[in-house]
Amino acid sequence: MNFVRASVPFMTALRRLCTQHGALLVLDEVMTGFRVGLASAQGHYATLIPGFAPDISVFGKVIGGGMPLAAFGARREVMQHLAPLGGVYQAGTLSGNPVATACGLATLREIQKPGFFDALSARTRQLVDGLKAVAADNGVPFSADSQGGMFGFFLAPELPQNYATVMTTDKERFNRFFHAMLDAGIYLAPALYEAGFVSAAHSEADIDATLAAARHALR
């Protein structure tokens, strides 16, 4: 549903209820892993909620630097249920793929360099703030949010807080905006319900070119 934050009360309640009922809290970091910060979404919420931590974390191809790889991790007492220590067998065609693993390790080394996420966050905010300003200049309802290198926007005056509200936003207007941007050489996610990503490879000139295209498209 694009970029909609899970609220702090919601995440707090999830952790409390899972603990209360002996259930495992699984945090899906397939989209957010190493994109919203070095410690991913769980690190972000840990700064806002004392003692917050998931029981299981799931990561997608971001952990392989974009290569075909996925991984999950958990507390020791959970992982000990996996073979060969326990009775749960897990396997995959790409498990331990050496090329993907090498790419993932190289990516993790890069993003741990001092200032990496500060620069990435600033570049993403430059894009998001610029889009909001361009939309306001053209009288187009527009809202946007970002964290780290992940961002999302809606052709709506306020950020949606749930899936039902996301589904009421103007899909046809988004489609026109998407194709106008594509004609200008800017390839956004092709659906209203997908988040966007800024990478360390995007330059200030790339952001300026995107905002120039958006100015024309929104007009």
Give the pLDDT confidence of 111-167 residue by residue, as tens digits. Answer: 999 999 999 999 999 999 999 999 999 999 999 999 999 999 999 999 999 999 999
CA distances from 155 to 6, 58, 123, 180 (A): 20, 31, 21, 15
User: What domains lie within the chain, and their CATH numbers?
Assistant: 8-111 (3.40.640.10), 116-218 (3.90.1150.10)
- Strand 71-74 with 150-154, pairing: unpaired
Would the pLDDT of 96 be above 80?
A: no
User: Cα(40)–Cα(29) distance, rounded to whole angstroms?
Assistant: 7
Helix/strand/coil (H/E/C) assignment for every residue in 72-84: EEECHHHHCCECC
- Asked if residue 61 has pLDDT above 90, the reply is no
**Tokens at residue 151, please?**
């961002």
3-state class of 28 per DSSP?
Answer: strand
